Amino acid sequence: MPRKKRQLKQDLRRAGFIEDTQRGKGSHATWYHPRFPDISVLIAGHDGDDARHYDERNVREAIAEVQRRGEVS
């Protein structure tokens, strides 16, 4: 059973990402990390929608990049 988009957003929050309320329209939400503003993720859809494989991959890669950069600093 696929995860829900709300679960991806929860993972992003735990990793320190913040939703950019100035960008995105309707059901599109852009998430960025305050320490690394060049790392962002776009999630389209409502919280109860099933996450697509590319949404999961994008979230996983963004979190991994923040963790990698955090270890280097």
Q: What is the pLDDT of residues 7-54, one digit of tens each?
A: 999 999 999 999 998 876 788 999 999 999 999 999 999 999 999 999
Residue reference for tokens 């060049």: 38
Verdict on whether the full-model pTM lies above 0.85: yes
Q: Is CATH 3.30.920.30 what the domain over 5-72 is classified as, yes or no?
A: yes
* Segment 60-65 mean pLDDT: 97
Q: Which of 34, 36, 20, 31 is nearest to 59 (CA)?
A: 31
**Residue 73 pLDDT exceeds 70:** no
pLDDT of 1: 81
Find all residues with CB under 8 Å of 30, minimum gap 6, and list them.
Answer: 19, 20, 23, 24, 40, 41, 42
Handedness of CA 21, 4, 8, 13 (dihedral sign): positive
Q: What is the pLDDT of residue 71?
A: 75
